[in-house]
Amino acid sequence: DGGITQSPKYLFRKEGQNVTLSCEQNLNHDAMYWYRQDPGQGLRLIYYSQIVNDFQKGDIAEGYSVSREKKESFPLTVTSAQKNPTAFYLCASNPDRRDRDYGYTFGSGTRLTVV
């Protein structure tokens, strides 16, 4: 079945460490996104990529970095510069076609906790 796989499901990080969250999709979607969700709140966009080797900052990109070397993969690195990284991280994708509109497909998320 096609979908988005995020790993790991739970991740613990010590302060000052960088960690990388994995996002892989086999939907052949062009666009991929990273969102962050804090308890009781909606989602906020961190980064997005519409094509391979290109990505753009979202609303809260500070302290995060991404790469898009392959169409299927869009890993997110949470750096030590991110002051409050404890959150639920969601990856999403969509075909990003202009001829019609499509819904987004989301992964099941990674819950990151700083200890």
Partner 1 sequence: DAKTTQPPSMDCAEGRAANLPCNHSTISGNEYVYWYRQIHSQGPQYIIHGLKNNETNEMASLIITEDRKSSTLILPHATLRDTAVYYCIVRGARDYKLSFGAGTTVTVRA
Q: Binding residues for partner 1, per CB under 8 A? A: 4, 31, 33, 35, 40-45, 48, 50, 56, 58, 88, 90, 92, 98, 101, 103-109, 111
Q: Residue 72 CB, nearest distance to partner 1 (Å)?
A: 18
Closest to partner 1 by CB, 12 or 18: 12
Nearest to 41 by CA among 8, 92, 87: 87
Nearest to 61 by CA among 103, 33, 94: 33
Scored b (16 or more CB within 10 A) or e, 78-94 reads: beeebeebebebbbbbb
Q: Residue 110: how many CB atoms within 10 A of its CB?
A: 22
Q: Residue 64 CB, nearest distance to partner 1 (Å)?
A: 15
Polymer length of the chain: 115
Closest to partner 1 by CB, 22 or 80: 22
Closest to partner 1 by CB, 75 or 109: 109
Q: Residue 98 CB, nearest distance to partner 1 (Å)?
A: 7
